[in-house]
Structure 1
Amino acid sequence: MPEDDRALSAAEELALARLAIDEGDLDHAAGHVAGALVQAPTLPEVHEALARLAAADGGGVELFPLNHHAFVGAVVARAHLLAAAGHPGDGLDLLVAATGYAPQTDWAGVPWVTAPELAERLAPEHAARILMQVCAALPDPVPRAGRPALAAYLTLARNAVTVHPEHGLLLGAASALARRVGEVALAIRWASRGVRAQPSKMGEVWLGYAYRSAGRTREALAALGRAVGHDPDDLAVYADIAGTLADTGRLDEALEWIDRALARDPSFDCAVHTAHRLRFQRDGEVAHLVALADFVRDHPDDTHEHGDLAECCRSRPWLGQVTPATGPAVDALRRAVVGDHGDLGDAVRLAAPAPPSALRTVATAVPGLRIEMAGVVEPDAREPRRPGVRPLWRYDGTSVAPAVPAPSSTAAERIRQLVHPAWPHPPAAYDAAVGLATLELADLVGLLAHPPEPPATAVGRVLAGQDPSLWVRCVQVWACLGLLHHRTDEPWDSSTRRRVLLDLVWGVEDWVTEAALFALVTAAWVDPAVRPEVAGVVAERLADAAAVARVRPMPVAASLAHLALATPDLDRETATLAAELIGGGLGVPRPRNPLARLWQRLTAPLRRP
């Protein structure tokens, strides 16, 4: 059901509908009535106009045909007319379809749906199916703001349960709806009646879910255990039991249940996803998440979507988001942007050169703030870490400028539409960056040193107003992910994308170093064949960073350590070194998130309902 592109109010739609009815143009009138229903689906005047249209056409149902791409307003109008013609079950099916399309809209809040007579006319199996279809379109639980739009369905459930008080399937489906809309006590009561009336696996599952929503874990586990007794081959219930145990910290017991499921079917998707998630919760080893990503890639036809990988990666450095920059230059930048100049004065004095991206960001965002350096500490941060790499930056003493041309306006606009500081997991970031595949190499490299201005979106305004450095880092990360999609017909070993990313990794110490290394780590997530090489590159780069950090400040060291811990097949020695760097060893400051509230605002749209 595609969105309608009109923006008329319900009153305007109704006025045009009445004029069309008066002129006998019923097709035109039907379009306006459908538009009014979308704007105000429960407004009495809209239903009066629909009734008048039906009277003029002898029922009016055929004025709202169900085409392949039906307009949601036409679907709802047809539903009401079918009910008026004595087919309320058929009408209810269409209202549920509309709810599945837009659950936040009160499509069903009309008298014929909430009348007790409807429940009397519906077979209990039909009522149960309706409620289950509604539940399938809803998150669990429904956010409080979305619950009023579902009140009519809960009333229907009450009425149906009153008419059929011993129907197990209906009671269970009603319980599922009640649970989702926050009526947990009612959900328990209905589900309990259902399993008493007709003991079944699904009845016990519904009861277990209701208990779990109420925080009554012991009763939830007992009900789910009885469900297994009804059907020992339903391995999804094993995964539910494991998840419930894990939520209460009983990981060992949870994994026992998962192992029981995997012993029956090692490829059962729910068990595999849950097993990897729980093992990661237990020991924090990224290998579990990589194995899960491999399973997802090798089993694209899973029975339903799982969120275990995204849940484990959420808010973790580089697994689910870019890390904020650290160092005195960006600390001064953040204070200046929000107006907290404190003791900054007109200059910030650094003990060693800051990353060139940091210097350029400060110069762009706060042009009046001077960065002064006490001197050069060896090894010189302005020199590449390996000879022969193509320079991205050009130094003139302590000042820095891009050594590559600016990107095209097309490239700048493309990345402005894509950039976000968070992603579900590395393979999802790789997939999202495919939109940059058609950009030229010069554009992708140019974006690294010439980031465009943030867009006038909510994310762009927040980043520009509170931390311009984060916007620059995001651009660099996504540009490097775009490099992974450059000339993918070239074999990896001799590819342009590999050569350019390695040049960036071994260039001068910069935020681009992190972005390029993240792109290589992401390549290892999606392509097992490159894992040995990438793990070796990460190990060498981190060892070099640790050596430098022993003799002078290195702002990117801790972030490189987080990248190492996100790398598939990383050797144990490098993982230990990474943990030491993150913990503040070798003189590297312990990383912190100076923008916790900002992160909460930026990543909120990505959180599960």
Structure 2
Amino acid sequence: MAIEGQLGGNVALDNIEHARQALARSDLAQALFHVSSALATDPTNREWRALIDQVLSKAPDPMVFVRPDEAKADFITAATRGYVLAWKKQHAEAIATVAEVAAVRPDCAYLAWARDWAQQPGVVQSIPLDVITGRIVPSVLRAVTSVSAPCSESDPRRKNCEAAVDLLGALYGAHPQEAFVIFAIGVALRRVARFDQAIQYAGYAFQLKNDWNTCIGLASALRDAKRVDEAVQYYRHAYSMRPDEIAALLDVGDTYLGASRWDEAIAAYRDVLAKDGKQAWASASILYAEHKKTGAPDVREQLWRMADGNGRASDLLMDLFGDKPYFTWLPGAGDSTAHAARDIIAQLTRKPPPPTGLGIDIPLTYMEAPSALAAFQLWTKAQGWMQVGIAAKVEGVQQPDPRSPKAQVDFQLWAFDDKVPRPNTPAPDPRVHAAIAEIAKTPYCLPMWQPLAQALAAQMGPAWMNQLLCAMVHPPPLPSPRHDPLIWVQKCQVAAALVIAYLDATPWESSQRRRTLWSIAFGPTDWVCDAAIVAMGWLAAHDASVREDVEGVFAQLEKIIPQQGFTCWEYPLVNVWKNLGGHPREMVEKLAQWKLRCESQKVEFAEEKHGGLTLEQYAELSALRDAILMKQGGGAGSAIMAAMGGGAQPELAALCKRFGIPAPMSAAAARVPGWDQRINADGALQKRFFDLTARFQLKQSGVDANSHEGRVAQQIRGGAFDVESAKQNQMAAAQAMAAGEGGDADPTVFPGQKLAKLSDYVGLMKQMQGGDFNGALKKYGLDMGSYMQASQAWGIKLASDPMLNAKFGKMMTG
């Protein structure tokens, strides 16, 4: 999480710079947006809070910028609303609001704001008790209980826990007899490891209100303080209050378990099973305690085999082996093909396909792993639906080409007929299927899979290498129709790769197993590459003589990750490399940042095409076409003339050629009938087309659609321009100009353009207002098309820059 903060650091500083620039032009709405975005990364930053105070001080009514009815109701806007409420001295609503935000985002230290406000004289006394007990305290409890006690000082939620102690303490000062507030203080104190005080407050709450909740609160405080026997006493007392609930009995077992008092823990969990023989938490916990007590491998194996259907067993197993993706648990595949296959499976499960069959195309922007398609085929076969199939319709191929080996290899597991994959091996011996399936049926955990893989490798020997490779692209059948086919294929491939990793005993560098895993990893991109990376990483983590070579392999793979599209083996690569541990600090940071980048990737699907163009390409063509027609005066007549070979025809013909569409007669008007029909028939598609066209029109006008000006233009076009915020900005700009803070009275806004300076645009406007429209265009070297572009660009600039707009108004009236 510290690395994530560093990743956000540069973005936060950029936001602060944007906020200062917006404040300089009196664009208070944008200034507030950027500074509040920065504060989301560190709400305690005093310099940034001073900047937000400066922004609010210039606004006649800052509530305009954070109205609750806005469509954008994200957590940052909600927190900023709380800040503005406090600025307006509406502290009850302000503290309740930021507490509710902290409950949703406990990693953002917004409770620090509430703490500061609550410590101001008279504030807590002004908050009604029903707001305290009904909104503030419940939200604070949700925030602090998102983490177990004690919260690590490196955990980003720690700051909220610390602020919660002070905030609740201030509320307690105003209401010293309110048991709920006192109870909450004890909960918060446990998170910051102030256990003695936590016990005092929890005990006081229990005295004031002797019920199940306060009793559990006191027991938990005693448990966290390692006062085990006293904690058990109060948990048992809580159970006597509600004998129909076994939660307190489970707490007894957990308390003994946390104290490594294994026999007492086992006895307590058996008390639970005596009341509920199927209680999964207690069953798993007993096995864990017995293993910790005896170290018996068979008990650990029972816990492991329980893990697939028992969340408690899975958590306890991770406690034994650590939280290491691809080593102790298996992340799902991230390909868009896999996501689409999973959606299709869900739909077909709800509504089976027709007897005549079903063919489904998955449009993809780039090539992806063939194994996702193979997994879907396994599933349809298990359902008896061989007439159902999916196919990937791939638009482009990234570089390096994922269909080709990434280095010199001994074999390729996949072959391709253009963009259609097929296994490049025959099906394996059924005995290999059976052996790999026996491993894959068990819960994924390489510490437990290793002895199974080693035993199978010893039984098979190197002669079975090719059969194992065949099984990687011809996975075993699903154990049952209910099995997840995507996870199954992943598990089978890793199991096969792990067996290969132990298949010969020769030194690693000269071994057949190294060459085989190398060839899989550097072969055509697929989940089999993931499996080879996992197997090599597992060996490197447990054999120092292998590590240097494997890290060299990983470094080579890192260098050839395509920049476009999704690469299935990238996320396994960074996680497995990270799992090796023992890295220098710089490498730790690099891997952490890389991992976060992978987790933020989004898969994209290709769009349909008509006339060889995607919707985005047709929108660009349309924007350019309209600009050409505008030079001829616009309207249907220009398009007809162009189609007949007159007027704009030569330019439109060149435009058609550029976009690869034929240009005889009607097509010379640069239209694609297929797209026109689709756009007219589909309202949602039509809206998207108009949005895309407007973005390209902005680009022609010199405005970046992703910039502040571009966003303002989109707001204006969509009818979402915030008039009230604009009024606030104009008032602030007028005040700044009156105070001599306006800067250059005639700024250059579009350097190098025909209307570069503000005075140029004002001169054009004044001459046009005098009735000399054509003379004004001629004076500034404009035609109708270039005027429309310049006018749009200036209009957007003035709408997005209140200070510039104020100067424009002053110059127009001067």
Identify which of 491, 494, 497 aligns with 2:382: 491
Distance 1:95 1:242 in 2: 37
Equivalent AA in structure 2 for residue 16 of structure 1 = Q
Structure 2: which amino acid aligns with 1:219? E
Give 1:38's match in structure 2, choosing from 34, 37, 40.
40
The structure-2 alpha-carbon separation of the partners of 1:11 and 1:249, relative to structure 1 and needing over 3 Å to count, comes to: closer
1:81 pairs with 2:90: no
Provide the residue aligned with 2:21 in structure 1.
16
Q: Does 1:119 align with 2:24?
A: no
Cα distance in 1, alignment partners of residues 65 and 95 from structure 2: 18
Residue 179 of structure 1: how far off its partner (Å): 0.6
The 1:257–1:53 alpha-carbon spacing in structure 2 relative to 1, beyond 3 Å, is same
1:206 aligns with 2:220: no
Query: How much does 1:63 deviate?
Result: 1.2
Cα root mean square deviation, aligned: 5.2
Determine helix, strand or coil for the equivalent of 2:133.
Answer: helix
- Rate the CA distance shift 1:484–1:174 in 2: closer, same or farther, 3 A: farther
User: Structure 1 pair 170/198, CA: closer, same or farther in 2 (3 Å)?
Assistant: same
What's the counterpart of residue 730 of structure 2? none
* Per-residue deviation, 1:79: 0.8
Q: 2:307 aligns with which of 285, 293, 297?
A: 293
1:184 and 1:224 map into 2 onto residues whose CA distance is 17
**Structure 2 residue aligned with 1:312:** 317
Distance in 1 (CA, whole Å) between partners of 2:378 and 2:120 is: 61
Structure 2: 5+ residue runs without aligned partners?
Answer: 1-6, 340-368, 387-425, 437-455, 509-540, 548-577, 596-814
Structure 1 residues without counterparts, runs of 5 or longer: 297-305, 322-419, 440-478, 556-590
Residue 87 of structure 1: CA displacement?
3.7
The offset of 1:274, in angstroms, is 3.5
Q: 1:253 aligns with which of 264, 281, 291?
A: 264
SS in 2 for 1:138: coil
What's the secondary structure of 1:74's corresponding residue?
A: helix
- In 2, the alpha carbon distance for the partners of 1:163 and 1:222 equals 32
Could you say if the C-alpha distance between residues 310 and 8 of structure 1 is closer, same or farther in structure 2, counting changes exceeding 3 Å? same
One-letter code aligned to 1:112: W
How far 1:241 moved relative to its partner? Answer: 0.8
Distance 2:97 2:29 in 1: 20
The reply to whether residue 107 of structure 1 matches residue 99 of structure 2 is: no
CA offsets per residue over residues 2-56 of structure 1, 9 Å max, x none? x999554464144124224x3xx44333323323433553445544554455455
TM-score by length of 1: 0.52
Identity, % of aligned positions: 16
How far 1:178 moved relative to its partner?
0.8
Deviation string, structure 1 residues 172-201 (Cα, Å, up to 9, x no partner): 211111111121121111111111221122
Identify the residue that residue 356 of structure 1 maps to in structure 2.
none
Per the alignment, do residues 434 and 73 of structure 1 end up closer, same or farther by CA in structure 2, a change over 3 Å counting?
closer
Q: CA offset at residue 229 of structure 1? A: 1.7
Residue 264 (str. 1) matches residue 275 (str. 2): yes
> 1:111-150, aligned counterparts within 5 Å?
111-115=116-120, 117-120=122-125, 121-123=127-129, 124-126=132-134, 127-146=136-155, 147-148=158-159, 150=161
Q: Is contact 2:215–2:237 with CA below 8 Å preserved after alignment? A: yes
**Matched residue, 1:28:** 30
Amino acid at match of 2:84: L
1:136-156 Cα offsets, whole Å, 9 max, x none, are 333432112343454322111
Cα distance change, pair 104–250 in 1 and its aligned pair in 2 (3 A)? same
For these two proteins, the number of residue pairs brought into alignment is: 400
Report if aligned partners of 1:191, 1:206 keep a CA contact under 8 Å in 2: yes
In 1, Cα distance between equivalents of 2:11 and 2:118: 28
In structure 1, what is the equivalent of residue 332 of structure 2? 432
Q: CA deviation at 1:481?
A: 10
Alpha-carbon spacing, 1:320–1:210, altered in 2? closer, same or farther (3 Å): closer
Measured after TM superposition, the shift of residue 217 of structure 1 is 0.9
Note the 1:544-583 alignment, pairs <5 A: none
> After alignment, is 72-81 or 35-44 more displaced?
35-44
Does 2:423 align with 1:423?
no
| Contact 1:166/1:193, CA 8 A, preserved across alignment | no
**d(CA) in 2 for partners of 1:208, 1:511:** 59
SS of residue matched to 2:235: helix
Task: Give distance in 2, aligned partners of 1:291 and 1:74.
Answer: 47
Deviation of 1:273 after TM superposition, in Å, equals 4.8
CA shift in 2, pair 1:289/1:17, >3 Å: same
Instruction: Report whether the alignment pairs 1:244 with 2:255.
Output: yes
Equivalent residues of 1:61, 1:78 under 8 A apart: yes
- CA displacement at 1:294 relative to structure 2: 4.9
Contact 1:184–1:214 (CA<8 Å) still a contact in 2? yes
1:29 aligned partner, one-letter code: A
- CA distance in 2: counterparts of 1:135 and 1:515, whole angstroms: 50
Report the secondary structure of 2:154's partner residue. helix
- Matched to 2:327, the amino acid is A
Please show how residues 142-541 of structure 1 align to structure 2 within 5 Å: 142-146=151-155, 147-148=158-159, 150-268=161-279, 270-271=281-282, 273-275=284-286, 277-278=288-289, 281=292, 283-284=296-297, 285-286=299-300, 288-289=302-303, 292-296=306-310, 308-314=313-319, 316=321, 421-424=326-329, 429=330, 432-433=332-333, 435=335, 485=375, 487-489=377-379, 490-491=381-382, 499=430, 501=433, 502=435, 508-509=461-462
Q: Within 2, Cα distance between the matches of 1:140 and 1:514?
A: 51
Partner of 1:399: none
Preserved CA contact (<8 Å) 2:429 2:467: no
**Could you say if the C-alpha distance between residues 187 and 50 of structure 1 is closer, same or farther in structure 2, counting changes exceeding 3 Å?**
same
State whether residues 187 and 210 of structure 1, in contact with CA within 8 Å, keep that contact through their aligned partners in structure 2: yes
Deviation string for 1:197-256 (max 9, x for gaps)? Answer: 211222122222222222111111112111112222232221111111123343343233
Is this contact kept in 2: 1:119–1:156, CA < 8 A?
no
Once residues 463 and 191 of structure 2 are traced to their aligned partners in structure 1, the CA distance between those partners, rounded to angstroms, is 48
Q: Secondary structure at the match of 1:144?
A: coil
Cα distance change on mapping 1:226 and 1:314 into 2, 3 Å:
closer
Return closer, same or farther for 1:9/1:263 CA change in 2, 3 Å cut-off. same
Mapped partners of 2:109, 2:173: distance in 1 = 23
1:94 to 97, 115, 123: 97
